[in-house]
């Protein structure tokens, strides 16, 4: 005789859970499928979107190496920005007079980028092979932006040649106003009180500087060339402001720092090609040898040390800028770069004895004030985002009861 089924204790595990909302695992299953497919067929090409799913996004603040990478790039930006500005001015102060040489050294150090591109693969940090994620569109964009960067470098060279380093640095801060507008148009940057306040303060500092800048024109420099340097610097600021959001637009398709350096590598090859054409048109690299031996008043050894040091420090500057844009945003990268201009001002005063009157003091204070305002706004935003993510994570990990707490006797 069959035993009559006994009532079982209520257990949520044995219940039909179809009525309970379940976490959608389709994305996870898709990723697992892609990983399995890639391991079985390693030569099968994947789209960049699929690769972004398969790899941990290094732009995420939850990525364990995000903060160290951010700090490293800001150090590169800090060292590169201050040192390259001072070295470029040093070149012109000691009778160096080639604008194309000054332009060429800003991008000729691109072979240095081979280190961050290939080192992760050599150390087996990643299985990704360098330049494997490139397509025609990214390559063409990189070349185009590289040519734009080459023009920007040339304008900076004219500005540094004719202006005191402190004046040049503070004028470049005007790029923030352009940066905010272009970022809002190109990458839909949200305009908040903190970033608008920062832009207004720093731009106001540049206007104050401009009102009294002609009074410190370098000795022997005509008013014509002074204003050429003045407007070339403003033009460089505009191009740099355009460069940053365009790069952010490109980086939206990028998931790893190595690919950022690969894009930078192609860009700087294009910028170097443009500068090399200018060098050949002006007299070729033989002109550098003549300049080292007969023009530069510190002698050939110091000349070549200056050239090599400038090449390396400019690479540090561009690597840091690219990393900041990738890890944060174009506006943040621009603001961090602008905040360092006050250090360039102080460097020009300390190293080259540039005048530091009341106008520059007010401009520097406004620059630091604006930067501090923006950093505080970013801090509040990060705290809110972390709190929101924590709350979301806690709600998504609530356990469904599985014990016998609901048993009936």
C-alpha distance across the termini of the chain, in Å: 26
Q: In this structure, what are the phi and psi dihedrals at residue 11, rounded to the nearest 5 degrees?
A: -135, 120
pLDDT in tens, 134-160: 888 888 999 999 999 999 999 988 887
The predicted model gives 1-19 an average pLDDT of 46
Residue 310 has pLDDT above 50, yes or no: yes
pTM of the predicted protein model: 0.74
Identify the band that residue 262 occupies on the pLDDT scale cut at 50, 70 and 90. Answer: very high
Q: Which residue has the higher pLDDT, 371 or 9?
A: 371
- The residue behind tokens 């690479």 is 315
> How far, in whole angstroms, is CA 380 from its chain's centroid?
22
Residue 65 has pLDDT above 70, yes or no: yes
Q: Residue 265 belongs to what H/E stretch?
A: helix 257-282
Lowest mean pLDDT among 51-55, 236-240, 241-245, 342-346: 51-55
Picking from 213, 220, 283, 275, the residue whose alpha carbon sits closest to that of residue 92 is: 220
Q: Report the pLDDT value the prediction gives residue 11, as an integer from 0 to 100.
A: 47
Identify the band that residue 85 occupies on the pLDDT scale cut at 50, 70 and 90. Answer: confident
Q: Report the pLDDT value the prediction gives residue 212, as an integer from 0 to 100.
A: 60
The predicted model gives 117-127 an average pLDDT of 85
Give Rg (Cα) of the chain. 27
């Amino acid at each position: 005789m069959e035993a009559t089924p006994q009532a079982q204790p209520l257990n949520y595990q044995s219940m039909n859970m179809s009525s309970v909302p379940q976490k959608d695992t389709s994305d996870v299953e898709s990723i697992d499928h892609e990983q399995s497919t890639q391991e079985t067929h390693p030569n099968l090409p994947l789209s960049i979107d699929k690769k972004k799913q398969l790899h941990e996004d290094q732009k995420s603040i939850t990525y364990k190496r995000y903060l160290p990478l951010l700090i490293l790039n800001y150090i590169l930006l800090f060292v590169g920005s201050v040192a390259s500005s001072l070295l470029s001015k040093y070149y012109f102060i000691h009778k160096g007079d080639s604008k194309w040489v000054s332009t060429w050294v800003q991008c000729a150090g691109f072979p240095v980028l081979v280190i961050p591109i290939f080192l992760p693969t050599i150390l087996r940090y990643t299985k990704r092979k360098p330049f494997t994620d490139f397509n025609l569109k990214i390559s063409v964009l990189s070349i185009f932006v590289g040519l734009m960067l080459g023009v920007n470098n040339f304008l900076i060279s004219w500005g540094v040649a004719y202006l005191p380093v402190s004046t040049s640095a503070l004028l470049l801060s005007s790029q923030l106003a352009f940066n905010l507008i272009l970022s809002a148009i190109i990458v839909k940057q949200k305009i908040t009180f903190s970033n608008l306040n920062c832009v207004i303060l720093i731009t106001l500092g540049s206007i104050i500087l401009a009102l009294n800048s002609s009074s410190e024109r370098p000795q022997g420099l005509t008013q014509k060339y002074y204003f050429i340097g003045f407007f070339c610097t403003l033009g460089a600021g505009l191009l740099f402001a355009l460069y940053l959001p365009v790069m952010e637009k490109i980086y939206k398709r990028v998931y790893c720092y190595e690919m950022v350096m690969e894009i930078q590598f192609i860009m700087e090859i294009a910028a170097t090609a443009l500068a090399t054409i200018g060098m050949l048109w002006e007299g070729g690299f033989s002109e550098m040898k003549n300049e080292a031996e007969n023009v530069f008043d510190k002698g050939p050894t110091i000349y070549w040390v200056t050239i090599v040091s400038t090449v390396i420090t400019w690479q540090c500057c561009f690597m840091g800028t690219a990393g900041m844009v990738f890890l944060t945003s174009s506006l943040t990268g621009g603001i961090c770069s602008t905040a360092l201009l006050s250090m360039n001002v102080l460097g020009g005063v300390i190293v080259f004895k540039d005048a530091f009157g009341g106008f520059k003091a007010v401009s520097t204070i406004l620059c630091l004030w604006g930067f501090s305002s923006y950093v505080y706004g970013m801090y509040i935003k990060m705290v809110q985002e972390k709190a929101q993510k924590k709350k979301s994570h806690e709600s998504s990990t609530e356990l469904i009861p599985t014990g016998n707490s609901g048993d009936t006797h």
